[in-house]
């Protein structure tokens, strides 16, 4: 079992080192829906930072709103487009604006994939785990649409 884990880990690291040159040196993304937030995201190779407005529904029909800022790591790119599709993981700080989270700090961890469909137009599909003091851990899907510009 240890050998299998080691082999998988080595393949993963090898994929990361080969993939680093596929990411553009700089890109700016305008995100129009929840993932990572409605706002801006700056990518420097495999790392990005983002800030914006994050609405989510923990209960159907009830929107809870946050300000959100964080960092993401991009890995295992695929495709031959100028901006590749890839997987990501990230963490964020959130500040509650409404409902049970008003004026409350929270932290979130997320993971998913970005699919570049045409030039910089992309769709993301992921999942987020959001934790705040005095609240139950919340896990939600995080779909998104955005546009990225390479420079």
Domain ranges of the chain: 22-150
pLDDT value for 12: 59
pLDDT band at residue 33 under the 50/70/90 scheme: confident
**Contact present, 147 and 28 (Cβ < 8 Å):** no
Phi, psi of 136 (to 5 degrees): -70, 150
Q: Which pLDDT tens digit goes with each residue over 97-142? A: 999 999 999 999 999 999 999 999 999 999 999 999 999 999 999 9
Q: What percent of the chain has pLDDT over 90?
A: 84
**The domain over range 22-150 is classified in CATH as 3.40.50.720:** no
Residues 133-137: contacts with CB within 8 Å, 24+ apart?
Answer: 133/104, 133/105, 134/104, 135/100, 135/101, 135/104, 135/106
| Euclidean distance between CA atoms 78 and 83, whole angstroms | 10
Q: If we measure between CA atoms, which residue out of 80, 79, 65 comes closest to residue 34?
A: 65
């Amino acid at each position: 079992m240890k050998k299998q884990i080691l082999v998988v880990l080595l393949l993963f690291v090898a994929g990361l080192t080969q993939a680093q040159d596929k990411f553009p040196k700089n890109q700016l993304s305008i995100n129009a829906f929840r993932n990572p937030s409605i706002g801006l995201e700056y990518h420097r190779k495999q790392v990005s930072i983002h800030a914006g407005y994050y609405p989510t529904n923990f209960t159907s029909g009830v929107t809870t709103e946050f300000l959100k800022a964080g960092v993401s790591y991009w890995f295992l790119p695929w495709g031959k487009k100028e901006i590749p599709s890839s997987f990501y993981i990230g963490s964020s700080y959130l500040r509650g604006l409404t409902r049970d989270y008003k004026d409350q700090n929270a932290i979130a961890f997320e993971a998913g994939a970005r699919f570049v469909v045409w030039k910089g137009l992309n769709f993301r599909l992921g999942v987020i785990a959001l934790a705040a003091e005095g609240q139950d851990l919340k896990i939600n899907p995080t779909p998104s649409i955005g546009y990225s510009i390479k420079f």
